[in-house]
């Protein structure tokens, strides 16, 4: 199983890993595959490599298939070691190859593999590359599932090389989904839930981009190549990434001094409702403790904010918080937020209160562990307020809280 043809002059040259594979604190009992693809055009091009554990083996195999000095491009869709892990070993032998990737991926590859002295071709969303007989088109797909990711499309073959997207973790030697011994739909869905679901808004953006091209086959990085009914798998992503939290409720309570914390509350509200969550927003100044308590008990997400004055919360919001944390908050999640001028103690004090309760406190650490995303900082601390990236950060925090459920 060194080389399997998937289209004219296009071949799978990856690695089947049929061990139980440690992955994201799980064990992939069915193993997986690391799918690398070689397009033997006038300018031979490799799309992704294999896991770092198999780097030497991969380069040896590839050198039996092609003179590595003739390799013109190595497309790196994603820098995780199961995709780019064999790159250093490969670039050692492929002396003339140019690395094709995103700006962010270049920065990360240089940090990981010290490839500063190699030639890069940086591509942006919609860029195309003539590889002599075929044309590649690139789409940036940030946070699917890491910041630098992109996907590649071959115009002539109508094949999508979507990296981690549309993958399954199943070690197999059949390669094509129509040859699979059993229905892979469930494994395909489980993979989505595990890797892509936390990034649902980005999946929606990616699906919009894919509407601009015709796709006959999907050749992902793991598991089966979807040559039979590719449309079914795109439809499944569409279905699974629809808003899914409409039966959940959120409550935002806040206390604001100059209005900035109130504006942040409104932005968080926007993010939550955009994600399909029924959300209520209460300024404690005009709401009774009984009302807030009742609504907190009926909510799945509780978000509490205050401005900071003299190193503390303002108004009587602390009385409200003391009552809320007496409730059984198991199964609920929440976070603290606020606008501040210099130190923002109120946000941390609210966070401490939440930690004392049995609510699941959303903070940057839990988000990184749950989703791999490091672009949302929680508790949400916003210096003063501006209708700029600070507002966007608050909207994003709302979206993330909705997805966290
Ligand atoms: Fe297949 Fe993101 O690793």
CATH topology (fold) of 249-404 = Rossmann fold (3.40.50)
Q: What is the pLDDT of residues 173-190, one digit of tens each?
A: 999 999 999 999 999 999
The CA 81 to ligand 1 mean position distance, Å, reads 8
The CA 54 to ligand 1 mean position distance, Å, reads 15
The CA 213 to ligand 1 mean position distance, Å, reads 24
Q: Of all atoms in ligand 1, which is nearest to the CA of residue 78? A: 2
Q: Of all atoms in ligand 1, which is nearest to the CA of residue 167? A: 1
Compute the Cα dihedral for 130, 38, 216, 7 and give only its sign: positive
Nearest to 120 by CA among 105, 139, 136: 105
**325, pLDDT greater than 70:** yes
298 vs 199, more confident: 298
Q: Of all atoms in ligand 1, which is nearest to the CA of residue 81? A: 3
Q: Of all atoms in ligand 1, which is nearest to the CA of residue 222? A: 1
Top CATH class of 4-241 equals alpha beta
**59, pLDDT greater than 80:** yes
Q: Of all atoms in ligand 1, which is nearest to the CA of residue 195? A: 2
The CA 164 to ligand 1 mean position distance, Å, reads 5
| pTM, two decimal places | 0.79
The CA 194 to ligand 1 mean position distance, Å, reads 11
Confidence of residue 133 (pLDDT cuts 50, 70, 90): very high
The CA 73 to ligand 1 mean position distance, Å, reads 21
**152, pLDDT greater than 80:** yes
State how beta strands 32-34 and 45-47 pair.
unpaired
How much of the chain exceeds pLDDT 70, in percent?
A: 98
Q: Of all atoms in ligand 1, which is nearest to the CA of residue 164? A: 1
Crossing angle of the two packed helices 200-210 and 230-240, in degrees rounded to 10? 140
Domains 4-241 and 249-404 share a fold: no
**245, pLDDT greater than 60:** no
Shortest-distance Cα residue to atom 2 of ligand 1? 80
The CA 241 to ligand 1 mean position distance, Å, reads 19
What is the rounded average pLDDT for all residues in the chain? 94
SS (H, E, C) 339-402: EECCCCHHHHHHHHHHHHCCCEECCHHHHHHHHCCCCCCCCEEEECCCCCHHHHHHHHHHHHHH
The CA 131 to ligand 1 mean position distance, Å, reads 25
**53, pLDDT greater than 90:** yes
Determine the Cα–Cα distance for residues 315 and 289; give it in Å rounded to an integer. Answer: 13
What's 281's DSSP letter? E
**Residues whose beta carbon lies within 6 Å of some atom of ligand 1:** 78, 80, 82-83, 145, 164, 221-222
Task: Determine the 3-state secondary structure of 289 from DSSP.
Answer: helix
The pair of structure tokens assigned to 98 is 């140019």
Q: Which pLDDT belongs to residue 373?
A: 67
What are the structural domain ranges in the chain?
Answer: 4-241, 249-404
């Amino acid at each position: 199983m060194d080389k399997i043809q998937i289209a004219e002059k296009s071949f799978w040259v990856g690695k089947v890993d049929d061990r139980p594979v440690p992955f994201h604190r799980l064990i992939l009992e069915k193993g997986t595959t690391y799918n690398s693809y070689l397009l033997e055009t006038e300018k031979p091009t490799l799309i992704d490599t294999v896991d770092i554990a198999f780097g030497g083996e991969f380069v040896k195999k590839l050198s039996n298939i092609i003179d590595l000095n003739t390799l013109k491009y190595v497309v790196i869709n994603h820098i995780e070691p199961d995709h780019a892990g064999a790159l250093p070993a490969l670039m050692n032998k492929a002396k003339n190859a140019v690395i094709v990737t995103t700006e962010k991926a270049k920065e990360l590859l240089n940090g990981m593999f010290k490839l500063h002295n190699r030639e890069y071709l940086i591509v942006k969303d919609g860029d195309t590359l003539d590889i002599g007989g075929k044309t590649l088109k690139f789409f940036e797909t940030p946070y699917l599932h890491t910041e630098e990711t992109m996907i590649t499309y071959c115009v002539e073959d109508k094949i999508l090389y979507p990296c981690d997207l549309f993958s399954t973790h199943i070690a197999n030697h059949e390669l094509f989904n129509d040859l699979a011994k059993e229905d892979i739909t469930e494994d395909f869905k489980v993979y989505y839930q595990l890797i892509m679901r936390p990034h649902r808004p980005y999946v929606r953006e990616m699906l919009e981009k894919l509407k601009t091209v015709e796709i006959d086959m999907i050749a992902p990085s793991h598991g089966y190549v979807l040559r039979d009914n590719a449309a079914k798998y795109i439809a499944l992503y569409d279905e699974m990434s629809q808003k899914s939290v409409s039966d959940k409720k959120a409550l935002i309570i806040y206390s604001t001094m100059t209005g900035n914390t109130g504006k942040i509350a409104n932005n968080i509200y926007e993010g939550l409702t955009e994600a399909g969550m029924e959300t209520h927003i209460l300024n404690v100044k005009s709401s009774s403790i009984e009302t807030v308590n009742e609504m907190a008990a009926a909510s799945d997400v509780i978000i509490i904010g205050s401005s900071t004055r003299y190193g503390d919360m303002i108004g009587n919001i602390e009385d409200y918080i003391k009552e809320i944390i007496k409730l059984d908050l198991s199964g609920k999640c929440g976070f603290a937020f606020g606008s501040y001028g210099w130190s923002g103690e109120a946000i941390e004090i609210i966070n401490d209160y939440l930690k004392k309760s049995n609510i699941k406190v959303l903070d940057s650490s839990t988000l990184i562990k749950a989703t791999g995303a490091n672009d949302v900082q929680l508790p949400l601390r916003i210096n003063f307020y501006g209708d700029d990236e600070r507002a966007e950060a608050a909207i994003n925090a709302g979206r993330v809280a909705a997805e966290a459920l």
